[in-house]
C-alpha cells in the first residue's frame, strides 16, 4: 500500500469519541490511504510509554510522542508493502497495527535510504540506541515465511477496553484463512498473555537496552479450532 500525501478535502479522524465507561465494539478493517495521519497519531499516543520507547527515546513523554510520530511516519512511507489494520468506532480511528506480509518485514536498500533522513533527525545518541534495538530484533526475525505484526497500539485513553483483542481477532482470522505463520515482538509482559490468548507462543526472550523483550510465533489454525 502506497501512502500519498493526505487529501485535505477528505474527512480525517484524529480523536477518540468513545464513552469512558464503554467497551466498544469496533470495525477492524484495512487502513485507507488518506487515514495515515490519524493512524500514526494513535500509534504515537498509544505507544508513547512503552518500555523500549522510554529506553531508546528518553524520559520526556511529550518528546517521545513527537519522535514516535516522526519515526512512524517515516516507517510507513518507506515501507509501501505494509498492509495496516485499523479499529474504527464511529468516525474515530481508535487503534491499529502494522502488518508486514511474508518477505517484507525487513527494509531493503531502497527502504533504508528513504528512512535515513527520519532516523538522522532523532539525534546521534538516540540513533545509536535505535540501531542497537532494531539490529537485535532483526537477528531474531524468523527465517520461514511469516506475517509480521506491529507496531500495534490502542489510543492511550481507551486502552484496556477490548479494542486490542478485536484487532488481534481479525488479524489472526486472516492468518488462519491464508495459512501463514504469524510473528511479533513485545516489550510488555502483560501483552504476552494477550497474544497467547490468540495463539502466539513465546519462542525467545532477550534484554534489549536493559528492557525485557519477548519474541512470539503463531502457527495457523483450522477455522474451527481458532
Q: Rounded mean pLDDT of 62-67?
A: 98
Residue of 168, 158, 15 lying closest to 91 (CA atoms): 15
Q: Rounded mean pLDDT of 31-56?
A: 97
Class of domain 27-218: alpha beta
Q: Rounded mean pLDDT of 67-87?
A: 97
pLDDT of residue 1: 41
pLDDT digits (tens, 9 = 90+) for 140-182: 999 999 999 999 999 999 999 999 999 999 999 999 999 999 9
pLDDT digits (tens, 9 = 90+) for 9-22: 333 444 555 565 67
pLDDT of residue 9: 35
pLDDT of residue 23: 84
Average pLDDT, the chain: 91
pLDDT digits (tens, 9 = 90+) for 189-222: 999 999 999 999 999 999 999 999 999 999 999 8
SS (H, E, C) the chain: CCCCCCCCCCCCCCCCCCCCCCCCCCEEEECCHHHHHHHHHHHHHHCCCCHHHHHHHCCCHHHHHHHHHHHHHHHHHHCCCCCCEEEEECCEEEEEEEEECCCCCCCCHHHHHHHHHHHHCCCHHHHHHHHHHHHHHHHHCCCCCEEEEEEEEECHHHCCCCHHHHHHHHHHHHHHHHCCEEEEEECCHHHHHHHHHCCEEEEEEEEECCEEEEEEEECCCCCCCC
**Whether residue 53 has pLDDT greater than 50:** yes
pLDDT digits (tens, 9 = 90+) for 115-139: 999 999 999 999 999 999 999 999 9
pLDDT band at 93 (very low <50, low <70, confident <90, very high): very high
Q: State what percent of residues in the chain have pLDDT above 90.
A: 86
Amino acid at each position: 500500500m502506497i501512502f500519498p500525501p493526505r487529501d485535505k478535502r477528505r474527512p480525517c479522524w484524529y480523536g477518540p469519541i468513545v464513552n469512558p465507561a464503554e467497551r466498544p465494539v469496533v470495525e477492524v478493517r484495512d487502513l485507507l490511504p488518506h487515514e495515515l495521519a490519524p493512524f500514526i497519531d494513535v500509534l504515537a499516543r498509544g505507544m508513547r510509554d512503552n518500555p523500549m520507547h522510554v529506553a531508546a527515546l528518553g524520559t520526556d513523554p511529550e518528546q517521545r510522542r513527537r519522535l514516535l510520530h516522526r519515526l512512524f511516519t517515516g516507517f510507513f512511507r518507506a515501507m509501501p508493502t505494509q498492509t495496516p489494520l485499523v479499529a474504527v468506532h464511529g468516525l474515530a480511528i481508535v487503534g491499529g497495527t502494522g502488518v508486514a506480509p511474508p518477505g517484507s518485514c525487513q527494509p531493503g536498500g531502497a527502504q533504508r535510504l528513504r528512512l535515513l533522513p527520519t532516523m538522522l533527525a532523532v539525534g546521534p545518541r538516540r540513533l545509536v540506541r535505535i540501531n542497537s534495538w532494531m539490529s537485535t530484533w532483526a537477528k531474531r526475525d524468523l527465517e520461514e515465511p511469516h506475517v509480521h505484526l506491529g507496531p500495534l497500539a490502542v489510543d492511550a485513553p481507551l486502552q484496556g477496553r477490548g479494542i486490542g483483542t478485536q484487532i488481534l481477532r481479525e488479524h489472526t482470522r486472516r492468518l488462519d484463512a491464508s495459512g501463514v505463520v504469524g510473528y511479533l515482538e513485545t516489550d510488555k509482559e502483560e501483552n504476552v498473555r494477550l497474544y497467547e490468548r490468540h495463539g502466539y507462543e513465546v519462542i525467545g526472550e532477550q534484554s534489549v537496552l536493559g528492557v525485557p523483550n519477548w519474541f512470539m510465533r503463531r502457527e495457523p489454525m483450522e477455522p474451527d479450532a481458532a
